[in-house]
Amino acid sequence: MAISTADFKNGMCIVYNNKLWTINEFQHVKPGKGGAFVRTKLRDVRSGRVVEYTFNSGTKFDTVRLEERKMTYLYNDGEDFYFMDPNSYEQMSIPADVVGDTAKWLKENDEVTLQYAGDELISITPQMFVELAVTETDPGFKGDTVQGGTKPATLETGAVVNIPMYINVGDVLQIDTRDGRFIKRV
């Protein structure tokens, strides 16, 4: 479906230069001289990069409908990751290269959000906070405090995060998946 700059809304997905972009911000500008134009901040759907573009007023774009589906992560066999729709119990596999870095936050039976543009899978988003056990880290010693710094730790999914010195192997931690930051010990 084609739209013009007059139809822009925040969060809308458009096709520009053969790429999918979501509109973060836009502003219609009517200068005293010359024609009206639209300043935009667009986010590349695949890379997440934010770019500013200016378009002449009335420029036409194709839109793409974004759809999100909640799925349950089941397991991976090394090549594919398997997900299940909790309503229909339909299972689907996604290649490991498509899942990418998201894999380090996936734990069996966790809910994830798959985002589609038309029929194409464009992103896999884990829950904002996950609880994972520490499988490997240097031991903490008496006297180590919160202000004493951090140390690296490997979690059960293979992710490596920085944690306070008092955390030990076997502790379950809450981690923010957006930036890999330690939140608290559970």
CATH code (residue 84):
2.40.50.140
Q: What is the mean pLDDT of residues 152-180?
A: 90
Confidence of residue 120 (pLDDT cuts 50, 70, 90): confident
Q: What is the mean pLDDT of residues 145-157?
A: 79
Per the structure, the count of domains in the chain is: 3
| pLDDT band, very low/low/confident/very high, at 26 (cuts 50, 70, 90) | very high
Backbone region of residue 24 per phi and psi (left: phi > 0; alpha: psi in -120 to 50; beta: other values): alpha
Q: Is residue 56 domain-shared with residue 84, that is, in the same domain?
A: no
147: confidence class by pLDDT, cuts 50, 70, 90: low
State the pLDDT at residue 145: 57
74 in the same domain as 103: yes
- Percent pLDDT > 90 in the chain is 50
Instruction: Tell me what the mean pLDDT of segment 86-108 comes to.
Output: 90
Structural domain boundaries enclosing 172: 130-185
Among residues 63, 84, 106, the one where a domain terminates is 63
pTM over 0.95, yes/no: no
27 pLDDT tier (thresholds 50, 70, 90): very high
Distance CA 39, CA 171 (A): 49
- Are residues 139 and 118 both part of a single domain? no
Beta bridge partners of 160: 154
Query: Domain check: are 134 and 164 in the same one?
Result: yes
**Residue 45: count of CB within 10 angstroms of its CB:** 19
Task: Report the percent of the chain where pLDDT is more than 70.
Answer: 95
Same domain, 140 and 108: no
Q: Are 52 and 7 in the same domain?
A: yes
Residues 8 and 55 in one domain: yes
